Structure 1
Amino acid sequence: MSFFSMQSESPRLIAAMLVTGIGGTFQYGFHISVLNSPSSFIKELVNSTCLQRYGYSLEPWEMTIIWSFIHSIFCIGGLLGSLCAGWLALAYGRKRCLLLNNVVAIISAVLMLLSKTAMSFEMILVGRLLYGINAGVSLTVHTMYMVECAPKRLRGLVGVSVASFVSMGKFCGQLMGLRELLGTEERWPWLLAFNGLTGLIQLLSLPFLPESPRYLLLDRGDRQGCERAINQLWGKKSHDSEINDMLKEHAAIRGVRSCSVVELFLKREERWQLLTVLVTFVTLQLCGINAVYLYSLDVFHAAGIPAEQVRYAALGTGLCEVTTSLACIMMIESTGKRVLFFRGYMGMATILGLLTITLNLQGQFFWMPYCSMVLIFLFIFFFSSGPAGVTASLPGDIFMQSSKPAAFTIACCLNWTGLFLIGMVFPLIVKHMGPYSFLIFLGFCFCCGLFVWLNVPETKNRTALEITEEFRKMHTKALKQDEKQGHDKIQMVKCTHL
């Protein structure tokens, strides 16, 4: 009901979700999947460039190195973007930072579009680096902006929309890469330049939206600007309760400047929030979703799907992720993030265990590939309806305003580093362990689900002050129990000696 009431009460908030999403995390998702389709055409361009310039045809191992670099440079750019995103968002504001970030996307698109005509694969490399910087900044600032623009009762719903645009970007990359659309030898530069269009859409429409209300009040001390932004985003009715909550937080952090990444690591009062971010963002990359997508192609082949049709079957996995992510928007406000985390990771751990069995028995029973196919779609369902939907916005929920930029910087750096390492190490793990590699991911999923259930409070309908207090109570109580148990053991040892 929160989603449908938001459509009628806060249409501009819906517009903000769409505008920031299409030029925000959509960019990240699109570039994760877009290179699969034109890979053969790009490799041909690389080889043709070397032949034309140097009269030298590349060896297979040389082509592999160049292709790996084209893939990985996106992650390097993303890491650079994430490292500076927190500072940029604090210095220039969330809205202005997103606006300027679109210029980077448009420049990247121009380079991609001209790369084939100029016979220069270096333009693709530079374009991928700039796309990475754009995605790194947007992944951080888009999430921060939307979480801060949402009222308390809709914060979870708006946070899930951030992950939904990642799923849409992945699906759009798969869809636009079909031969019937842009996945041809003539049109592939337009496919790689598609993000320039989404960046242009955001560049033209974002000026009509206000700055983040929380940024205006808590970072700039502009109460009037905050109230104007709230009225534009949430509708012209009384929002005194929300503003009072912001004023309480403003009073709590008065005189406290925004902390750096190093200072956040040293803050004892927020160490459990930081540990929560470290655990959840590391597990998001090590939960096995990349392994499941990789093995899905083999499963589709084993199920009898012709090789030329496998791409369309793989498109079904992307569509499943998008629809499940959208469904998560509907249920998060009634379920809560803590439950979605626990249920999602425990479901994923169970599916990974079953998938290990079915993949090992795939050649012995004709119906086993169909069981594996069902398990793959169930895994995507649990992933999209739980961890994928609620992890991205978690730093915005559990940290005070002075710590949010540093928390988002740490979270996104973990995300990009994990994506890079998985791309480099994961093929080796699969090569040596086969389906048993799922057992590694099973362990990560199970431990993260248990950690969240035991150590993280529910964030639904709570302010950052209330959540901080919940963390303090939860772990102060645990600390006192440990001290009491230690004291009892000492007393028991003394009594034994006596």
Structure 2
Amino acid sequence: GGFNFGYQLLITNPAQLAFIQFLNDSYAETHGVREDRATLEFLWGVIVSTFFWGATANSYIVFSISRIVLGAAISISLGIAPMFIIECSPVGCRGMISMATGVLLQLGLVVGSITAMPEVWGTVDSWWLVYGLELFLTIFITVLILFIPESPSFLLTKDKKRLAERSILFYHGVSKAETEPLMSDMKKGVEGDKPLGLFEIFMDKTWLCGFLVGIAIMSGTILCGVAAVNAFAFEILLNVGLSPLHASLGNLTICVMAVARVAMHRLPGFCDKDIKEVEENELVSD
């Protein structure tokens, strides 16, 4: 989810000239006329406002519809993927795991800034490879998910104790004897809870409150301007006088710096070390 969002957010700008050429050819084939540059840029601005898979599209209409479909799919995966990962993870490393979406988003920005460079695949003849790479990665992950266990807490809500035990062994890396207390703790956490459907959330005040808080946080994140900087960094650098190659390299540098900053702040063991130091200080003070 995070990788796809970051990847799609960035690729449309460095390879914009190739996409506009595709739009011009497709529009001429569909309507028999070629529009001027201003009209094409307006149409492209509307199309680029949503996400899309373009590797197999030969029509700008299909192109536009597929962006809307992919946008909805990425939005859902951004919510479901972190929830699934956290449910499967041991309690001690959930703080680090919760950062996975942000790290993957930044990684998607880096990969997108490389593949969409005019010197790589951001050309009229090769732009479809930008989407081909994402298609390959998505299919690979989808097939891989078919062979991994369901989340243990979900299996316990379905009274599938044996499958839940196997799931804990797989995700937590513990011995069989250690699964019993973990399962007991998970049962206490889900005891009395009943699964709610998508629209049932709006009928339950407790769940609705959490839902609205989540919407507010996500809206603030999306509208804070960071996404706009990443999406239009290439064009901004072009407008200040850099060449396309230098603008692409500058865009890549910005993305790499973001990943490096997150990685340095969240290296494995840093959080655990800080927690241990706090606990030791509390014991000393007591």
Superposition TM-score, scaled by structure 2 size? 0.80
User: What secondary structure, in the 3-state scheme, does the structure 2 residue paired with 1:319 have?
Assistant: helix
1:280 correspondence with 2:220: no
Q: Is the 8 A contact 2:15 2:118 kept in 1?
A: no
Please name the residue that 1:215 is paired with.
154
Q: Distance in 1 between matches of 2:5 and 2:256?
A: 17
Residue 73 of structure 1 aligns to a residue whose secondary structure is: coil
Asked whether 1:26 is paired with 2:12, we answer no
Q: In the aligned structure 1, how far is the partner of 2:19 from the partner of 2:233?
A: 24
Deviation at 1:132, TM superposition (A): 2.2
Q: CA RMSD in A?
A: 3.0
**Structure 1 residues 158-167 or 48-57, which shifts more?**
48-57
CA distance in 1, matches of 2:134, 2:237: 31
Flag structure 1 segments of 5+ consecutive residues without an equivalent: 1-23, 78-107, 337-498
Q: How many residues align?
A: 270
1:251 aligns with 2:191: yes
Structure 2, gaps ≥5 residues long: 276-286
Q: Which residue is equivalent to 2:182?
A: 242
Q: Which residue of the partner structure matches residue 279 of structure 2? A: none
Give the drift of 1:275: 5.3
Which structure has the bigger radius of gyration? 1
What are the residue-to-residue correspondences of 1:256-405 with 2, within 5 Å? 256-258=194-196, 260-261=198-199, 263-264=201-202, 266-268=204-206, 271=209, 273-274=210-211, 276-293=213-230, 294=232, 298=236, 308-330=245-267, 331-333=270-272
Return the alpha-carbon distance in structure 1 between the equivalents of residues 207 and 170 of structure 2: 35
- 1:194 maps to which residue? 133
* Mapped partners of 1:49, 1:328: distance in 2: 46
Partner Cα separation in structure 2 for residue 261 and residue 324 of structure 1: 39
Contact 1:49/1:121, CA 8 A, preserved across alignment: yes
1:335, 1:277 → 2: CA distance? Answer: 28
- CA distance change for structure 1 residues 298 and 186 in 2, over 3 Å: closer, same or farther? closer
CA distance in 2, matches of 1:236, 1:225: 15
After TM superposition, the structure 1 stretch with the greater mean CA deviation from structure 2, 289-298 or 56-65, is: 289-298
Give the distance between the partners of 1:321 and 1:309, measured in 2 at CA.
19
Residue equivalent to 1:225: 163
> After alignment, is 158-167 or 121-130 more displaced?
121-130
1:113 is aligned to 2:39: no
More helix by share: 1
Q: Deviations over 1:229-259 (max 9, x none)?
A: 0001111321444322211123242xx4425
- For residues 203 and 263 of structure 2, the distance between their equivalents in structure 1, rounded to whole angstroms, comes to 34
Aligned pairs for 1:55-70 (under 5 A) are 55-70=32-47
How many Å apart are 1:197 and its aligned residue? 0.5
8 Å Cα contact 2:10/2:113 also seen in 1: yes
Shift, 1:295, TM fit: 6.8
- Output the CA distance in 2 between the equivalents of 1:289 and 1:268: 31
Name the amino acid aligned to 2:45.
S
Specify the alignment match of 1:476 in structure 2.
Answer: none
Distance 1:285 1:141 in 2: 18
Question: Does the 8 Å contact 2:86/2:97 carry over to 1?
Answer: yes
- Counterpart Cα distance in 1 of 2:118 and 2:252: 13
2:162 is paired with a residue of what secondary structure?
A: helix
Amino acid at match of 1:244: S
The answer to whether structure 1 residue 135 and structure 2 residue 95 are counterparts is no
**Structure with larger RCO (C-alpha < 8 A, sep 6+):** 2
CA contact (8 A) 1:297 1:314 kept: no
Return the letter of the residue paired with 1:224.
Answer: R
After TM superposition, give the deviation of residue 172 of structure 1 in Å.
0.8
2:122 paired with 1:183:
yes
Shift of 1:300: 8.8
Matched residues in 2 for 1:183 and 1:147: separation? 36
Q: TM-score, normalised by structure 1?
A: 0.49
